[in-house]
A and B are shown apart, each in its own frame.
Chain A
Amino acid sequence: MKITNWKIKLATIFSLIIIWHILSSILDTSLFPNPFSVFLSFLDMIKEETLLKDILWSLRRIIISLIFAIFFGVVLGMITSKLSLAYQSIGTILDYIKSISPIALVPFIILWFGIGESAKILTIVYLITTVIWLNTDTGIRNVNKLYLWTAKSLGADNYDLVRHIIIPQALPFIVTGIRTAIAWAFIIIVAAEMNGASFGLGYHIYQYYQNFFIDKMLVNLIVLTSIAYSADKLFLFIIKRQYGWYFTENAKNY
């Protein structure tokens, strides 16, 4: 029997579920439900529509945040990589604030911006913009001068240079930045939703915690993680289709 990749993956997941089940029977079931009861809760939550609303609200916040972050991150990256003045000024600020813990920032954002949707989106955008900025800046600086020279001697104007030389060359870096930003968005959304939402996967984890609905907590956690995982894989798929070159020589092990 040929052992193929997906068979190994499936077998691994299945074994993990079994180990989970064994562990939960050994440990205190009230604190650590077994996979079967978690699955039953999952089905209940689908019927109640809470889960669906949670997913939609969380996704909405993440998608909006990503749109802002990609736009500002890439534009800022283009500016700081090309203008020394911008790099010294804006770049220094961004460089510093990228080290601010967003979780520490949550109470400040609540104090200054309240607990509405914009506050939540701000929390996410704040964290993920800087990684996109940094990667874009690095990527554009990485452009080989000879490609620019060659393009100029072929008659390229500035628009051609940006579109046909700089962006394709910087793209692997920018893609890495965006991929990281997607992952971080799913991580920080829980902190962003912690206070004053009505729906959201992260928000309900804390609500269920306060009411001791541990299997519901686990359902939300697993759903959130699975969506994050799928988003990453989907992003890679789209990039691979649009920009196959990115993958051919560089990363055959994806």
Chain B
Amino acid sequence: MQKTIDIKNLDMKFNDLYILRNISIGINKGEFVSIVGPSGCGKTTLLNIIGGFIKPTLGKLYHDGQQIKKPSSEISIIFQQHVLFPWMTVYENIESGLKFKNVNKNKRIKVIDNFLENFNLKDYSRFYPYELSHGMRQKVAICRGLAIEPAIILMDEPFSSVDAITRINLQKYLLNIWDKYKNTIIFVTHDVEEAIFLSDRIIILSNKPAEIKKEFNIPFNRPREDNIKYTKEFVGLKKKISSLLL
């Protein structure tokens, strides 16, 4: 079966310094893949390349057989800083992608109301980003990225700057949405526990220049409950992966 995202022999150089080396990854449709690595190893750069924002020095990337050359709404990205449009309200932010794609008004209202409801943002639809807490901004950013029902979702450490309790809630929201829309998700994080909890597969990158160190298939069934984080298998896996990152 054709991989939905196919990365072949990717190299990325900035000013004679190799950031990424010989990265080859194949991702299946509907898969939830996490990319884990130490801070600053080039995970964000890799994601930006997949998103079509940066051209790799060497190598080719394909989305459903088509080469990725520029950003498109098929591959939606959620950056580390929420990057909400500060001149738009919560409602307008979530609406923005739908408006760009010329979705008609009635459908827009339905989709946005649905997200506001599911993410507990109903009371905040007229608020501006600067009036929201950090966790809420992240929620809005996720809603905005998901509202256009993209085939691929790229997420760059979306929960790293959020408190632990909010993070657990956001993870749950994310899994619910993913379960419903069955998008393909590529999730970058340095939090091993988060990666194991969320993903089908984990790809571990080494330090600069980042190469693929190892891949892990996550054996746990879905839907995943919170308490699997305390099981022996989970902790064992976490230990194994963490040691590879040191």
* B28: interface (CB < 8 Å): no
Complex Cα spacing A243 to B128, Å: 13
With known contacts A168-B87, A169-B87, A245-B86, A154–B75 Cβ distance under 8 A: no
Separation of A171 and B86 alpha carbons in the complex (Å): 13
- Determine if B86 and A154 form an interchain contact, defined as CB atoms under 8 angstroms apart: no
Most buried by B among A153, A157, A171: A153
Distance of A147 Cα from B101 Cα, bound (Å): 17
Collect the chain A residues with CB atoms within 8 Å of residue B79's CB.
Answer: 146, 149-150
Q: A164-B96, A248-B130, A249-B130 are in contact. Are A153 and B83 (CB under 8 A)?
A: no
Partner of B83, one of A150, A157, A245, A248: A150
Task: Scan A135-159; emit 1 where CB is below 8 A from any B CB, else 0.
Answer: 0000000001011011111111100
The docked-state distance in angstroms from the alpha carbon of A152 to that of B68 is 14
The one of A144, A155, A168 that contacts B101, using a Cβ cutoff of 8 Å = A155
**Is A160 an interface residue when CB atoms closer than 8 A count as contact?**
yes
- For chain B residues 66-90, which have a beta carbon within 8 Å of chain A? 70-73, 75-77, 79, 81, 83, 85-87
Known contacts A155-B148, A165-B85, A245-B87; A150 and B77 CB within 8 A of each other:
yes
Q: Is B100 within 8 A of A157, CB to CB?
A: yes
Q: Check A149 against B87 for contact (C-beta < 8 Å).
A: no
Question: Which of A153, A164, A243, A249 makes the CB contact (< 8 A) with B86?
Answer: A249
How far does the alpha carbon of A157 sit from the alpha carbon of B102 in the complex, in Å? 11
Question: At the interface, yes or no: B144 with Cβ under 8 Å from chain A?
Answer: yes
**How far, in Å, is A168 (CB) from chain B's closest CB?**
4
Query: How near does chain A come to B72, taking the closest CB pair, in angstroms?
Result: 7
Contacts of B76 in A (CB 8 A): 153-154
- Interface residues in B111-155 by Cβ distance below 8 A to A read 128, 130, 144-145, 148
Q: Is the interface of B mostly helix, strand, loop or mixed?
A: loop
Q: A101-119: which residues lie under 8 A (CB-CB) from chain B?
A: none
> Known contacts A146-B79, A169-B87, A249-B130; is A151 also within 8 Å of B100 by CB?
yes
Q: What separation, in Å, do the CA atoms of A155 and B128 have in the docked complex?
A: 22
Q: Nearest-CB distance from B113 to chain A (Å)?
A: 19
**Within 8 Å CB of B100, what residues of A?**
151, 154-157, 160, 164
Does A155 lie within 8 Å of B97, measured CB to CB? Answer: yes
Say if the beta carbon of B53 comes within 8 Å of chain A. yes
Nearest A residue to B70 by beta-carbon distance? Answer: A152
In the complex formed, the residue of A with least CB distance to B131 is: A248
Among A154, A164, A245, chain B packs the most CB atoms within 10 A around the CB of: A154
Q: Which of B71, B85, B86, B101 contacts A152 (CB 8 A)?
A: B71
Nearest neighbor of B152 in chain A, beta-carbon distance: A153
Q: Give Cα A155 to B86, complex, Å.
A: 19
Q: Which residue of B lies closest to A172 (CB)?
A: B87
* B51 close to A (CB within 8 Å): yes
- Interface residues in B139-178 by Cβ distance below 8 A to A read 144-145, 148
Main secondary structure of the interface of A (DSSP, over half): helix
Q: How far is the CA of A157 from the CA of B100 in the complex (A)?
A: 7
Q: How far is the CA of A3 from the CA of B128 in the complex (A)?
A: 33
Contacts of B52 in A (CB 8 A): 153
B80 to A, closest residue via Cβ: A146
In whole angstroms, how far apart are the Cα atoms of A150 and B81 in the complex? 11
Closest B residue to A154 by CB, please name it: B97
- With a cutoff of 8 Å between Cβ atoms, the chain B residues found around residue A168 in the complex are 85, 87
* Residues of chain A contacted by B148 (CB below 8 angstroms): 154-155
Chain A, residue nearest B97 (CB):
A154
CB interface residues, B 93-110, toward A, < 8 Å: 96-97, 99-101
User: Is B130 in contact with A153, judged by CB distance below 8 angstroms?
Assistant: no
User: For residue B145, which residues in chain A have a CB less than 8 angstroms away from its CB?
Assistant: 153-154
Report yes or no: B96 in contact with A153, Cβ–Cβ below 8 A.
no
Residues of chain B lying within 8 A (CB to CB) of residue A152: 53, 70-72
B residues within 8 A CB of A146? 79, 81, 83
Q: Chain A contacts of B72 at CB under 8 A?
A: 152-153, 155
Q: How far is the CB of B40 from chain A (nearest CB, A)?
A: 18
Nearest CB on B from A241, distance (A): 15
Contacts A154-B148, A165-B85 known; A149 to B71 CB distance under 8 Å?
yes
Q: 6 closest pairs, A vs B, by CB?
A: A155-B73, A154-B97, A152-B71, A168-B87, A155-B100, A156-B100
A-B contact pairs, 17 of them (CB 8 A): A146-B83, A147-B85, A149-B53, A150-B85, A151-B96, A152-B72, A153-B71, A153-B72, A153-B76, A153-B77, A154-B100, A154-B101, A154-B144, A155-B73, A155-B101, A157-B100, A249-B86
Q: Which residues of chain A have a CB within 8 Å of any CB of chain B? A: 144, 146-147, 149-157, 160, 164-165, 168-169, 171, 243, 245, 248-249
